[in-house]
Chains A and B, each alone.
Chain A
Amino acid sequence: MSSSATDISLVSAKQPGWNRPPVIEPDGEGELLEVAMGPHHPSTHGVFRMDVALDGERVIRLKPVFGYLHRNHEKLAEGMTYLGSMPFTDRLDYMCPLTNNWAYALAVEKLTGQEVPERAQYLRAILGELTRVVNHASAIGFLIQEMGASGTPLMYAFKEREKILDLFEAITGARMMVNYMRFGGCRVDATPAWLAAVRTVLDGLPRFADEFENLLCGNEILMARTQGVGILRPELAVNAGVTGPMLRASGVNYDIRKVDKYGIYDRFKFRVPLGEHWDVYDRFMIRLLEMRESFGIIDQALKEIPGGPVMDAKAKLRGFRPKAGEAYGRIEAPKGELGFYLISDGGPNPYRYRIRPPSLINLTVLEDMCLGSNVADVVLIFGSVDIVLGEVDR
């Protein structure tokens, strides 16, 4: 991975097969070793398998195997009312249930044209950004854990996560399975005490980020293990549909909060951090920096949040039948673009209900990133993608 310049010239020529993983020849000495990493490997974040062919320590082929957690959520949703699927979306990316709720609510609102009251928009933004902090802190914690720093960094991340999950529990009634958003607003309003509690937690977060950063960023082992490892070229990242922090770590400025300006994101000032070296270290840094931008967004939202209702008064929860048609709604979930594609035939159930899972599609380039590197780096590269199997397999 020394000269990235030659790679770019190859890409701009758009030769056939430029977006396929390269073929790596074994050096001819000894035999190839085929290893099934997973489905119960501790680094797979669940049940996921990589069939790896090794030439010595070098990866020459890697095929991901999915489906261990498949329950055909899409089929189940077609047999349920629109609202009936809302609690089920919590179980997709179970680290970030609130953004899943939001994406689904947004898609249905696109289908029906419902308005969302101001206060609900602010609550969605606050909860969405808190979710992003939870996800990024945990993702970094898991990444360091997989590097061999057993426990301690992960527990640092989980310490903050607990505080935020307590906030979720206070407003929604559940730490993780929140079932909070509705088509046209949110289920319950926030009390002034809750908003004050968010402020208290928020005030402690920059200190946590500083501490985390001081511990990790200059760490010699972390730098040696992650810098220059798992490089993902921007052209390939875009072509392979990679989204979220992964895409931005490859230097592509694409944040759906800025592009679509869904919700009320046009009112907040925040920056989009971009990577320069396109490697695992950049993906780790981007998450740290995005976390800090999220603190800023929550701070602005807490200052501006107006009073008023949190549900559209005209919103119908029972007997909800959207007009025939279809809609695709998407948000910038912490892991990437989470989209819902709905087709309505005028009935109470969606005719077609499709989830665009960022975790699955970000894995498309896993083989490309891992080829030629050592088998120990596969764990790190995979960890830097940041997936949750509930969403990959659905």
Chain B
Amino acid sequence: MKTVEEIKAAIEAAVPGAAVDIMPNPSVSGQHSLRLDAGHAVAVATFLRDDAELSLDFLSNATGVDWPDKEVAEKVKVTRTVTKTVDGVEQQVEETVEETQKRVVPGCLEAVYHLFSVAKGHGPVVIRMKTANRTDQVQLPSLTPVWRSAEFQEREIFDLFGIVFTGHPDLRRLLMWDEFKDHPMRRDYVEPDDFEYEPTAHDEVLARAQGQKKQGTGNRDQGSGS
């Protein structure tokens, strides 16, 4: 099979304007991945599937990864002017000191796809895409039109990570219920200490029952309406 460098070159030759970055994988598995830009992802995916030599016709695994904002402490050399008293005379002296500065690396959500070829028997080729941030710009193009197997898996990513796949034919929550508000697989997800905060039919019934209790009306009044 082609190496990631060769695949990158093939993509860039076939899809003009596509930006592909190689993401090295330091582990012994050696499964390096290709990061696609969201704008050309569908064209690149179609090429990967239909190219005679690669023919990655089988999308095995699609999943999300959450990379929250990270605070990095780095040592920076800072040059500044200080006033010092040298030999009894005040002077302006330039001084270089090392300072620890904190920098926030903005986080993102990432979708990772593992591709194989049934026709050629090779793989995996790992492609990934990342969103601009984790809050309001979480759209990525859906690869479901190219590989149908992404249909449920992208729904799962939408459900648990909150990536919105544009072009998905049926983007609904897969595992959590539709009224659920948050995305549980995010790293900063805090599970509620009281799960009954979720609106359920049962809660409404309970509230109504308790309200009636306070007012001192019994259930008998309700049934007599008909």
Contact = CB atoms under 8 A, between A and B. Distances in A.
**Are A and B physically bound partners?**
yes
Interface of A: 14, 16-17, 19-20, 66-67, 70, 72, 74-75, 110-113, 236, 238-243, 252, 254, 259, 322-330, 337, 339, 341, 343-344, 352, 354, 356, 360-361, 363-365, 393-394
A14 B145 CA distance: 11
Range class of the B interface residue count? 35 or more
Contacts of B185: 72, 74-75
- 6 nearest CB pairs, A to B: A325-B27, A241-B149, A113-B28, A327-B29, A67-B175, A240-B148
A70 B25 contact: no
Contacts of A365: 148
A62 to B, nearest CB: 12
| Interface SS, A side | mixed
A330 B114 CA distance: 11
B148 A19 contact: yes
B164 interface: no
B65 interface: yes
A361 B153 contact: yes
Nearest to A363: B152
B126 A254 contact: no
A323 B26 CA distance: 8
A328 B174 contact: no
A70 B148 contact: no
B163 to A, nearest CB: 14
B145 A328 contact: no
Interface of B: 25-29, 31, 50, 57-61, 63, 65, 112, 114, 118, 121, 124, 126, 145, 147-153, 160, 169, 173-177, 184-185, 189
Contacts of B149: 239-242, 361, 364
Nearest to A324: B26
Given A66-B175, A111-B28, A325-B29, A339 B151 contact: no
Contacts of A344: 27
Contact of B60 (A74, A327, A339): A339
A73 B36 CA distance: 29
A111, A239, A323, A394, most chain B CB atoms within 10 A:
A239
Contacts of B58: 238-239, 241, 254
A72 B29 contact: no
B27 A327 contact: yes
Contacts of A19: 145, 148
Nearest to B33: A326
A19 B148 CA distance: 6
B148 A241 contact: yes
Nearest to B26: A325
Contact of A341 (B112, B150, B174, B176): B112
A329 B61 CA distance: 11
Given A70-B176, A393-B175, A326 B60 contact: no
Contacts of A259: 121
Contacts of B126: 328
A152 B139 CA distance: 53
A242 B59 CA distance: 10
A354 B63 contact: yes
B118 A252 contact: yes
A240 B147 CA distance: 6
Given A254-B121, A323-B26, A352-B63, 5 more contacts: A19-B148, A75-B189, A240-B151, A254-B58, A356-B114
B25 A361 contact: no
Contacts of A394: 175
Contact of B148 (A74, A236, A254): A236
